Amino acid sequence: MGLADFDPGQMSARLRLERPVATPDGQGGATIAFEPVAELWARIEPLAAVPEEMAGAGRVTVTHAVWLRFRADVTAGMRLVKGSRHLAIQSLRDPDETGRYLLCRCREEGR
Dump strand ranges (E) for the chain.
Answer: 13-24, 30-54, 57-69, 79-82, 85-93, 101-109
Residue 4 lies in a domain: no
Residue 15 lies in a domain: no
Residue 3 lies in a domain: no
When divided into structural domains, the chain yields a total of 1
Residue 83 belongs to domain spanning: 37-109
DSSP three-state, residue 21: strand
Q: Which of 67, 52, 70 is nearest to 111 (CA)?
A: 52
| pLDDT attached to residue 58 | 75
pLDDT of 8-44, one tens digit each? 788 999 999 999 999 998 898 999 999 999 999 999 9
pLDDT of 71-98, one tens digit each? 999 999 999 999 999 999 999 999 989 9
Does the pLDDT at position 111 exceed 60? no
Residue 22 lies in a domain: no
| pLDDT attached to residue 53 | 73
| pLDDT attached to residue 1 | 57
- The confidence band for 7, taking pLDDT boundaries of 50, 70 and 90, is confident
Residue 23 lies in a domain: no
Q: Which residues pair with 81 in a beta bridge?
A: 16, 86
Residue 12 lies in a domain: no
Instruction: Give the mean pLDDT of 44-70.
Output: 87
Residue 18 lies in a domain: no
